[in-house]
Structure 1
Amino acid sequence: MLVELLQYARIRRGTMNPVLDATLIALIYYLVNLDCPLLMMCQAPLFLGGLFGAIYGDLTTGIMLGAALETIYLSAVAVGANMPSDQALAACIAIPIALKTGMEINTAVALAVPFGILGAFMDNARRTINAVWWHRAEKHIDELNWRAITFDAIWGPALVQLAVRFIPVFIVAYLGADAANSFLAAMPEWLTHGLSVIGGMLPALGFTMAISIIGDEKLIPFFALGFFIMKVANLPLVLMGVFAVVLAALHIQYARSGMLQPQALQSPAVDEDDDD
């Protein structure tokens, strides 16, 4: 329903109001970072790419941008609840800017990475500030001040979340399109080409890190095989996916049957009666 209303407003006005546009982007980023499992699942760049693509009327490009960002963060694991990078912020900044300015996918990917790192620092700042509410809550619990406890537990952290998540993203999203256009126009060609090359390498790095986390060196030849087949044969992604599923099924079947395990060499049995 929200997507349909925004598309209707865009058709009526020809373009979305910049304030409404920035508010929507910041609100989406704010919502997906709430402590709700269903909303936290929506932090994936692929989902956000499809959502922004539907809002801006270019679903295909939005999904392609989201998929390119998704490959980078395949190996991003929050250790001890500490995020190495904020994939939601990277997607909420880079994808709308790319859709509005016509930025190339590889350039958008390279643009997204610094924002992802910045998002991790923003999250650490939020946690540090929220420590204030814990100390206040301990005092208010001793006083049995239920109204203050409610504020410390709910409204205080929500205000910090609003200040850290919503306001910075609103400012960047509001100035982002014009600033990105001016920045891209002022960039020399060699820098634009360099960002494009870096953006093309990052997905491969994400896949490699994902394989290293799995820790199974036997999977590296499959990764190399898929890479070279894609480069040499230039197969469609759907056909390549079917081929990968078949290889995975064969590998699992042979592994369970023991056909992939090296067989120990057995020396011929010696008949003890021959020694007598």
Structure 2
Amino acid sequence: MLETWQIAAIALLAFLVPIDKYGLTIGLRWPIITALILGFILGDMKTALFIGGTLELMALGVTSIAGSSVPEYSTAAIIAIVVASQTGQSMEAGLALGLPVAMLGVQFDVIAKIINGFIVRKSQIYANKNQFAKMKHILLLGPIIMGLTAAIPVLLAITLGAAAIKEILAIMPGWFSSGLTIAGRVLPAVGIALLLNYMPVKRYFQYLLAGFFFVA
């Protein structure tokens, strides 16, 4: 069972994940970095890095271009790691709850950006009136709204408790769990394929082969 300070720390970590994509960054947008920090919080580094690394492979080649919204894999990592660590279930069980939240995060991100559009226009009105203090204060709402898009779903997921999560996993149909297991194995390859599509593979094919050789 999670202690109060752990729940608070996890919620804060989730809050910072969407904000980290803008301005000065420490890499929380990458699941493996988020997983590393979460591993220290939970005291289960092995589970954290295993799931974080898997989701990192899924996220390769997936990026937000021109303000587009993409799944928040770091948020999925937080939920998946907490579920797997606290319930003793497999990685697939954690992903069963984590990945849907990541997909739902796309909708939350769109809503947050729409709201922030109104905030920016309001701040411009204050700027035109030389009311810079009000402009500064209202602009602070932007990152707060972005942070809540991840913090609220994560907080709800982890406060349900291990027993409730186990019940949710138990009522999931077998075909759904099997599908997630297959997806969990296929998506890393898809992520690598997307990444290779962006890279000059033909020019540096020898380095690609060397990388696979040394890893193998």
Q: Which TM class, normalised by the smaller chain length?
A: 0.7 to 0.9
Distance (Å, rounded) in 2 between the aligned partners of 1:201 and 1:120: 21
Which of 32, 35, 50 aligns to 2:17? It is 32
Distance (Å, rounded) in 1 between the aligned partners of 2:212 and 2:189: 20
Q: Does 1:132 align with 2:102?
A: no
TM-score with structure 2 setting the length: 0.82
Distance (Å, rounded) in 2 between the aligned partners of 1:215 and 1:66: 27
Q: Does 1:175 align with 2:160?
A: yes
Q: Does 1:122 align with 2:92?
A: no
1:206 aligned partner, one-letter code: G
Contact (CA 8 Å) 2:82, 2:94: kept in 1 or not? no
User: Greater shift after overlay, 107-116 or 45-54?
Assistant: 107-116
- Residue 133 of structure 1: how far off its partner (Å): 1.6
Relative contact order, higher structure (CA 8 A, sep 6+): 2
Identical pairs, percent: 25
Contact (CA 8 Å) 1:68, 1:109: kept in 2 or not? no
Q: Does 1:243 align with 2:213?
A: yes
- Residue 124 of structure 1: how far off its partner (Å): 1.6
Greater Rg over alpha carbons, structure = 1
Distance (Å, rounded) in 2 between the aligned partners of 1:36 and 1:222: 32
Contact (CA 8 Å) 2:59, 2:73: kept in 1 or not? yes
Unaligned runs of 5+ in 1: 1-14, 227-240, 248-276
Distance (Å, rounded) in 1 between the aligned partners of 2:33 and 2:13: 12
Contact (CA 8 Å) 1:66, 1:91: kept in 2 or not? yes
User: Greater shift after overlay, 99-108 or 117-126?
Assistant: 99-108
- Residue 68 of structure 1: how far off its partner (Å): 0.7
1:197 aligned partner, one-letter code: I
Distance (Å, rounded) in 1 between the aligned partners of 2:157 and 2:56: 22
Alignment RMSD:
3.0
Unaligned runs of 5+ in 2: none
Q: Does 1:98 align with 2:84?
A: yes
Contact (CA 8 Å) 1:46, 1:70: kept in 2 or not? yes
Contact (CA 8 Å) 1:211, 1:220: kept in 2 or not? no
2:40 aligned partner, one-letter code: A
Which of 16, 22, 33 aligns to 2:2? It is 16
